[in-house]
Amino acid sequence: MNILEIRDLDSGYGKALILQDLSIDVKEGGFTAIIGPNGAGKTTLLRTIFSLCDLYKGTISFRGKDITRIKAENLSDIGLNYVPQEESIFPSLTVFENLRMGSVKEKSREKISSRLERVYNRFPVLEKRHGQSAGTLSGGERQMLAVGCALMTDPDLLLLDEPTAGLAPTLVEGLFQDIAKLNTEGRSLLLVEQNAKMALQYAHEAYILEGGRIKQHDDAANLLKSEEIIKHYLSV
Ligand SMILES: Nc1ncnc2c1ncn2[C@@H]1O[C@H](COP(=O)(O)OP(=O)(O)OP(=O)(O)O)[C@@H](O)[C@H]1O
Ligand SMILES: [Mg+2]
């Protein structure tokens, strides 16, 4: 069973057609990665799912329900959330206030406090820094906070746009491990990444996106062994 199904999608910005003929599945409980170079269309794909750019053709369904025309602000109500590539936290608010903003639509105090506890358990440094303004966090801590904010809606499917970009290599692996734990706890993940090696090590399956089109799709373990993939993406 798939939690997300994208079929024959064309999308872009105004007259600029970026994604062409894309079909992608994320299995219920799965961890799917989209890998590709700069400008491949990775961010555009996540923005299309979140109705943040123009869809010309195709369908997007979440647990069998057509979400093609659902507005971004309503997607979290049905179980989707998104950690964008650009900075999404409020630098002048504290860590705690940012997390509270993440669940601003939730009325139940019990749900909010149990979600907060889960975020603090997954990222203990955020609890340590709960009263610190987010603008003074390190790059790694900011990324954890961005993921934490998205977790405050308790999404069944989380979309992640290059969460480890710009982090020191020593921090990248740790954040990948935390993300993989979100998946083993039961959340489905769709991750877009330039860091093919890491993505293929942690994801279950992956799509290669180039020039707005899917070039290949396979189990991540098979792609890790493929000579062509090693030559193009893993030899750096
Ligand atoms: N607002 C926009 N208007 C027109 N074209 C855009 C817009 N945003 C992005 N593009 C173009 O869409 C293409 C895909 O961009 P996108 O940001 O999806 O790539 P990406 O795979 O996420 O790259 P990166 O790894 O650098 O983040 C690029 O050619 C880009 O110039
Ligand atoms: Mg991008």
pLDDT tens for the 236 residues of the chain, in order: 999 999 999 999 999 999 999 999 999 999 999 999 999 999 999 999 999 999 999 999 999 999 998 998 899 999 999 999 988 899 999 999 999 999 989 999 999 999 999 999 999 999 999 999 999 999 999 999 999 999 999 999 999 999 999 888 888 999 999 999 999 999 999 999 999 999 999 999 999 999 999 999 999 999 998 877 777 777 65
Query: 99: domain range?
Result: 87-154
Same domain for 140 and 92: yes
Sign, Cα dihedral of 212, 36, 163, 224: positive
Ligand 1 binding pocket mutation candidate from 11, 17, 18 (most atoms within 8 A of CB): 18
Give the count of beta carbons closer than 10 Å to the beta carbon of residue 202. Answer: 19
Ligand 1 binding pocket mutation candidate from 9, 11, 35, 42 (most atoms within 8 A of CB): 42
Residue 197: closest CA among 230, 156, 219, 152: 230
Task: Assess whether the C-beta atom of 39 lies below 6 angstroms from ligand 1.
Answer: yes
Ligand nearest to the CA of 84: 2
Task: State residue 87's pLDDT score.
Answer: 85
Contact 83/163 with Cβ under 8 angstroms?
yes
Same domain for 161 and 235: yes
Contact 215/37 with Cβ under 8 angstroms?
no
Same domain for 146 and 163: no
For 46, list phi and psi in degrees, rounded to 5: -65, -35
Length of the chain: 236
